[in-house]
């Protein structure tokens, strides 16, 4: 059974600080996705990582994928309050037919 | 271009009642999905469809049925609702293959009393 874990589950950080969210998964997958969810809202796609070593950046967020270690990271640089949300990673080893999501990391950026 | 829409947005059911949730997408996507989201558990896949007329079970299919009679619509049915089905339900769609992220609908908040 494919398991996806995220660490930490809750993160409270001050504006201006850097931090990394980790996503581990238990079976081979060369595709990994990051999503953002604001409270009471739907999910929004942030990154699609399609191969080992893939790195993508958007604003203060940077995601990377190490398929050999079965690990993805979401790095936050100089956090701002607007980044407060829940972040989910998801893997799909069956090519579009079975996405499995992690439990989410709830991020609060404090002024 | 509305993206992915879901009907209804909120619903309260009594135990044993039935209902159908409708998901519609106007992006001509092949793949469609139904998830449920419970506190602290992320999203869990209920059923999915890789094309018109085809459906398959996901991680938590028990108590639910689906149909995809038209490419743009994916229906989720609860034949006899149970309190354990209280959840937020999200529909999503994506083009063929997993090189693409999923596009999510706004969600349906269902309470079963």
**% of chain B at pLDDT higher than 70:** 97
The mean per-residue pLDDT over the stretch B39-52 comes to 90
Report strand pairing: B4-7 vs B54-57. Answer: unpaired
Can you give the pLDDT at residue B98? 59
Give the mean pLDDT of chain B.
Answer: 93
Q: What is the DSSP string of B39-91?
A: TTS-EEEEEEEEETTEEEE-SS-TT-EEE-SSTTEEEEEESS--GGG-EEEEE
Alpha carbon distances (Å) from A45 to A31, A71, A105, B28: 14, 19, 15, 18
Instruction: Please tell me which of the candidates A88, A95, A101 has its beta carbon nearest to residue B97.
Output: A95
Please give the structure tokens belonging to residue B90. Answer: 């999200």
B94–A45 CB contact, under 8 Å: no
Tell me which DSSP letter residue B101 carries.
P
How does residue B97 score in pLDDT terms, banded at 50, 70 and 90? low
Residues of chain A with pLDDT under 70: none
Between residues B104 and A98, which one has the greater pLDDT?
A: B104
Q: How many CB atoms lie within 10 A of CB A63?
A: 24
Q: How far apart are CA A25 and CA A6, in angstroms?
A: 9
Instruction: Please tell me which of the candidates B42, B45, B99 has its beta carbon nearest to residue A102.
Output: B42
Residues of chain A found within 8 Å of residue B90, distances taken between Cβ atoms: 42-43
């Amino acid at each position: 059974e494919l398991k996806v874990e995220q660490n930490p589950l809750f993160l409270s950080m001050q504006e201006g600080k850097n931090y990394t969210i980790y996503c581990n998964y238990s079976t081979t997958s060369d595709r990994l996705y990051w999503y953002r969810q604001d409270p009471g809202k739907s999910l929004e796609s942030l990154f699609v990582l399609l191969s080992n070593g893939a790195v993508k950046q958007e604003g203060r967020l940077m995601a990377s994928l190490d398929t050999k270690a079965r690990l993805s990271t979401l790095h936050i640089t100089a956090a701002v309050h607007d980044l407060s949300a829940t972040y989910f990673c998801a893997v799909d080893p069956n090519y579009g037919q079975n996405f499995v999501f992690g439990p989410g990391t709830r991020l609060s950026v404090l002024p | 271009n509305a993206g992915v829409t879901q009907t209804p947005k909120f619903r309260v059911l009594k135990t044993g009642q039935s209902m159908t949730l409708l998901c519609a997408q106007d992006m001509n996507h092949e793949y469609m999905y139904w998830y449920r989201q419970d506190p602290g558990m992320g999203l869990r896949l209920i059923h999915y469809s890789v094309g018109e007329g085809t459906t398959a079970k996901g991680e938590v299919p028990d108590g639910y049925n689906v149909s995809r009679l038209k490419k743009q619509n994916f229906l989720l049915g609860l034949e006899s609702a149970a309190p354990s089905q209280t959840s937020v339900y999200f529909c999503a769609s994506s083009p063929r293959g997993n090189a693409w992220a999923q596009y999510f609908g706004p969600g349906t908040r269902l309470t079963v009393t």
